[in-house]
Amino acid sequence: MIAVLPCAAAAQETVVRVRVVDSTGTPVANADVSALRGLNTVVAGGPTDSAGRRTFNIPRDGSDYQVVARRIGFTRGEQFFAASRDTLTIRLVLRATPRALPAVQVTAQEDIKRRAYHLDADQIATSTRTIIDGLDVLSKLMPDVVYSRVPGCAARYVWVNGHRIVYPPIDPALAIKQSQRRRGAAILKHIGPTGMLTVNLTVQSVMASIHPEHIEEINFADCNDKTVEAVKGNSAIFVTLKPGIAFEPGIGSYVLASGPVLSNDNAPAVPRATDPTDVTDLAFRARIVGVFDDSTGDPIIDAEVADSTSGTFARTTSTGTVSLAFLPLGMSTLRIRKAGYADLLLPVSISPRDTLPLTLLLTRVK
């Protein structure tokens, strides 16, 4: 019996084999690979070898983990997986960070607004504050959204991965808290509603159901923001979830059952819709954007249409159009630039349900 104990203990661990490559398939050596539980608890990790490989063991408890790879000169790669098998093999693709970007004129006002209304996964993970859910992220790390910089511009709508969440189940505990806040505000009528009391229960309930480690990016468009060409696209919070993460009202964010696992010792690799390398040839990836002058209607040639996260960009043709095949699946934020015109930011979704061409108007700078 004693001789069997080491084998039994080993059976309670999952061997995770990670391979890190760049967008051309070349192995990335010395990439820092970490397996995370929750938001930022590191359970294993280390650098990749010359073949871009790293192997580590984690408890086989069926929990959701996140594997993250970082390397200077590349955008980070990440995937979620469940520790439910003996052996898992995960392939991460890192995309090169652009070495040089065209000169951009950003006003002080735009810079302040960007810092107040934008948050990414790294900022959430490195926060020293206790973050339990997405509502904590909003209230503790984005106070300018809760305590609006613009009077009367509180968050009224919430979008997750490009879809507005309408009539989700309301969290009963949050409803009680909101009622208590209203009673407190009624006593101080000269002050009026402030803080979380100005954020409606729909937004609060949705954000509270999102795990902070599932968030890739959050953006807020205040009531004066006209860059989002969608009904109820201002006074709105836009949440982008990481690859392999889905959202359902009443359930919240969760790891897709298909997971990021490419293969194991007993089964061949299985293509997944969440893996960008498996769907590059699908027609919906080539969603079209047309960029035009808002005063003349003429197509704008050679405008830069860029993914604000990775910096990857394409330029419009003589017809003012460009394909968005360079964007990853899910929600991205486009930045459209052209000398003589004001920059334009636009959340865009790439999915089988989001295929309609987009028409964008740029305004000349006076």
- Same domain? 165 vs 125: yes
Domain edge (last residue) among 201, 218, 252: 252
- Same domain? 90 vs 147: no
Q: Which domain holds residue 46?
A: 2-96
Give the pLDDT of residue 134. 92
- Same domain? 180 vs 73: no
Residues 145-189 have pLDDT tens digits of: 887 666 677 888 999 888 888 888 888 888 888 888 788 777 766
Query: Using CA atoms, how far apart are residues 355 and 162, in angstroms rounded to an integer?
Result: 12
Structural domain includes residue 272: no
The CATH number covering residue 43 comes to 2.60.40.10
Q: What is the mean pLDDT of residues 240-251?
A: 85
Query: Using CA atoms, how far apart are residues 100 and 113, in angstroms rounded to an integer?
Result: 24
- Same domain? 14 vs 70: yes
Give the pLDDT of residue 281. 41
Structural domain includes residue 171: yes
Query: Using CA atoms, how far apart are residues 198 and 154, in angstroms rounded to an integer?
Result: 6
Structural domain includes residue 265: no
**192 pLDDT higher than 70:** no
Give the pLDDT of residue 33. 92
DSSP code for 233: -
pLDDT bucket at 194, cuts 50 / 70 / 90: low
Domain count, the chain: 3
- Same domain? 89 vs 174: no
- Same domain? 246 vs 143: yes
Query: Using CA atoms, how far apart are residues 207 and 253, in angstroms rounded to an integer?
Result: 10
- Same domain? 230 vs 356: no
Residues 202-242 have pLDDT tens digits of: 999 999 999 999 998 898 888 887 766 677 888 889 998 88
- Same domain? 316 vs 186: no
- Same domain? 113 vs 208: yes
Structural domain includes residue 270: no
The CATH number covering residue 222 comes to 2.170.130
Question: For residues 173 and 132, is the Cβ–Cβ distance under 8 A?
Answer: no
Give the pLDDT of residue 76. 83
Domain edge (last residue) among 252, 267, 292: 252
- Same domain? 287 vs 157: no
- Same domain? 166 vs 33: no
- Same domain? 81 vs 155: no
Residues 48-91 have pLDDT tens digits of: 999 999 999 988 887 888 899 988 888 888 888 888 888 888 88
